[in-house]
A and B are shown apart, each in its own frame.
Chain A
Amino acid sequence: MPELTKTPVETEVPETGALAAAEPVREKARSLWQDAWRDLRRNPVFIISGLLITFLVVIAIWPGLIASGDPGDCDLAHSLQGSAAGHPFGFDQQGCDVYTRTVFGARASITVGVLATLGSAVLGGVLGGLAGFFGGWWDTLLSRLADVFFGIPILLGGLVFLSLVGGSLWSVITFIVLLGWPQVARIARGAVVTVKQQDYVQAARALGAGSTRMMLRHVLPNAVAPVIVVSTIALGTYISLEATLSFLGVGLRPPTVSWGIDISSASSSFRNAPHMLLYPAGALSITVLAFILLGDAVRDALDPKLR
């Protein structure tokens, strides 16, 4: 085999020369992830929703930071009272402090939202990804299975499932994952099928790469973005689903503190104590909105069509 030789100056110079003229050499290597991150940092929607979510996550972990009381510390003497000194949101039926309960309620929502999202993303991502990558009967089977789960009416399914296994943090998460994975799987499958047909995957095959390498080095990094986007957007809806199920009495149950439960108990006395409903419902709406906005911002940053 001949040795590698230097290219004649004729072709060497123009390439580097033109590049140097067009773009300063100091230009840094930028991956698509770095580009997306740069976009995100400049997006006010991302900044606002990101700050909000950080705040929510922090108080979900350490509610004591902004609420000194105990959500179970109630005094019937204060039942349905409006705001008072040290109790800005007033009291609920049981005489519990609404402010403290609203703050502590973040934990359940965030926990359910984050864990259910992770669960459905991993389950749906892996199953959908494998279906897309290998195709064949495995793909057919999985697609039909996903259709079956798609067919389950959410509330009816929730009522049946949770009244059978009992409402708890884990059973609610399990239920949401069971309902949520097909959506992720469908997206993941589509993304993998698209990426698999790209020339660079064919090029890797032509080089002799095995399935594992193609999957991990080529398909996964290029197919993961849509899964992230759909999961971030789904997170908000999962939180509201938890609240809905808890509201209906089949989700989380007292003594767990949840916005859904509080909204449920507030609804009966809405006329004489609207504050009971207002604060947990407001917190819920803001949280859901924050995650949906984050999802939107992430999609804008990762969507290749806008790049």
Chain B
Amino acid sequence: MTTTTEKSVNPQAGKAGTPLLEVRDLHVEFRTRDGVAKAVNGVNYSVSAGETLAVLGESGSGKSVTAQAIMGILDSPPGFVTQGQINFQGRDLLKLSEKERRRIRGAKMAMIFQDALSSLNPVLTVGYQLGEMFRVHQGMSRKDAKAKAIELMDRVRIPAARERVNDYPHQFSGGMRQRIMIAMALALEPDLIIADEPTTALDVTVQAQVMDLLAELQREYHMGLILITHDLGVVADVADKIAVMYAGRIVETAPVHELYKQPAHPYTRGLLDSIPRLDQKGQELYAIKGLPPNLLRIPSGCAFNPRCPMAQDVCRTDIPVLHPVTDSRGSACHFWKETLDG
């Protein structure tokens, strides 16, 4: 396998000022009994304040692992960050002590998970858990913390917040629980929010409510938002730019509109072609052949080559760098020009 150093320009760099968060050449591996699973293999991305970056990928693409590494909540062992930098507000998080990182977590960056029910403690009231943020981080009194909790619940539009502040998590519906998770993430007004499949577990009609709320609050607080999802539809709604991940690498990155209109990587193109449309009845679906790669044995060269309709010999030997397609776009495909035209 040839290793190519990714010297190519990061299409996101050069945007006005330094970005809020910049991930550089991040590598994460999991040491399991079956071998070393290379979950993240040189990821670069950045988010500015007020910007929404969608990280799109399937299971095993490394999208969640990257987020866990940023938050510093990677299970270690078996997970290890082996290389790279995570620059957040000018500091490399990987060089900080656990104590310093803990101070950043919650206060400066917060995370929203897919499964709200298991992220909330079932034996404590929602108000107590929301108030805890203020008591622990700001040393607020019990009474003030509760008032703050009610205010937050109002913020995320939970009806009758004053009455419901003493309810337990299981007394709320799925959508309401996700709102509570959002409230918790917002509590200390962080600069960055990472939302990992925040609406996947919710019903379609509730998904729309929650996604709207998240987007609105992000604008209001001028936060950076990293939205991790597998759903091309959700992304289209709220993201400014997209990074598509495959086998632990970013294979394409682009502003939302451009990516949907004209993908520059065969994987992105395949994904877009393989989802049926709501507004018309199509013919047989295009299906990307094969299976997502086994991270213990990532194919040599371009990891997508066994499934790629355009693969040539070079794809089996050389790992493609993220070629700059335009100022704001990149594609990690040897044949990005052909893909873009085709």
Asked whether any CB of chain A lies closer than 8 Å to the CB of B299, the reply is: yes
Asked whether any CB of chain B lies closer than 8 Å to the CB of A136, the reply is: no
Report whether A39 and B33 are in contact in the complex, using a CB–CB cutoff of 8 Å.
Answer: yes
Asked whether any CB of chain A lies closer than 8 Å to the CB of B291, the reply is: yes
Q: Name the residue on A nearest B299 (C-beta).
A: A21
User: What are the residues of chain B within 8 A of A11 when measuring CB–CB?
Assistant: 287, 289
Cβ contacts A to B, 12 pairs, < 8 Å: A10-B289, A14-B289, A14-B290, A14-B291, A15-B290, A17-B289, A18-B290, A19-B291, A21-B290, A21-B306, A22-B294, A22-B297
Given contacts A10-B289, A23-B294, A18 and B306 within 8 Å (CB-CB): yes
Instruction: Report B220-252 CB contacts with A as 1/0, cut-off 8 Å.
Output: 000000000000000000000000000000000
User: What are the residues of chain B within 8 A of A42 when measuring CB–CB?
Assistant: 33
Whole-angstrom distance between the alpha carbons of A210 and B282 in the complex? 43
Interface residues of A (CB under 8 A from B): 10-11, 13-15, 17-19, 21-23, 39, 42
Given contacts A23-B297, A39-B33, A13 and B306 within 8 Å (CB-CB): no
Interface residues of B: mostly helix, strand, loop or mixed?
A: loop
Whole-angstrom distance between the alpha carbons of A176 and B124 in the complex? 40
Instruction: Report B290-309 CB contacts with A as 1/0, cut-off 8 Å.
Output: 11011001010000001100
Closest Cβ of chain A to B154, distance in Å, is: 39
Picked from A10, A15, A22, the residue with its CB within 8 Å of the CB of B293 is: A22
Instruction: Report B72-103 CB contacts with A as 1/0, cut-off 8 Å.
Output: 00000000000000000000000000000000
Picked from A18, A22, A23, A39, the residue with its CB within 8 Å of the CB of B289 is: A18
With most chain A CB atoms within 10 A of its CB, the pick from B290, B293, B294, B306 is B290
Q: Name the residue on A nearest B288 (C-beta).
A: A14
Q: Name the residue on A nearest B289 (C-beta).
A: A14
Whole-angstrom distance between the alpha carbons of A19 and B33 in the complex? 21
Picked from B33, B290, B294, the residue with its CB within 8 Å of the CB of A17 is: B290
Report whether A18 and B297 are in contact in the complex, using a CB–CB cutoff of 8 Å.
Answer: no
Q: Name the residue on A nearest B287 (C-beta).
A: A11
Closest Cβ of chain A to B72, distance in Å, is: 23
User: What are the residues of chain B within 8 A of A23 when measuring CB–CB?
Assistant: 294, 297
Whole-angstrom distance between the alpha carbons of A19 and B306 in the complex? 10
User: What are the residues of chain A within 8 A of B297 when measuring CB–CB?
Assistant: 22-23
Whole-angstrom distance between the alpha carbons of A6 and B305 in the complex? 26
Within 286-340 of B, Cβ neighbours of A (below 8 Å) are at 287, 289-291, 293-294, 297, 299, 306-307
Closest Cβ of chain B to A233, distance in Å, is: 23
User: What are the residues of chain B within 8 A of A10 when measuring CB–CB?
Assistant: 289
Whole-angstrom distance between the alpha carbons of A62 and B297 in the complex? 51
User: What are the residues of chain B within 8 A of A13 when measuring CB–CB?
Assistant: 289
Report whether A14 and B294 are in contact in the complex, using a CB–CB cutoff of 8 Å.
Answer: no
Given contacts A13-B289, A23-B297, A18 and B307 within 8 Å (CB-CB): yes
User: What are the residues of chain A within 8 A of B287 when measuring CB–CB?
Assistant: 11
Report whether A14 and B293 are in contact in the complex, using a CB–CB cutoff of 8 Å.
Answer: no
Whole-angstrom distance between the alpha carbons of A21 and B289 in the complex? 13
Closest Cβ of chain B to A24, distance in Å, is: 9
Whole-angstrom distance between the alpha carbons of A39 and B33 in the complex? 9
Whole-angstrom distance between the alpha carbons of A39 and B299 in the complex? 27
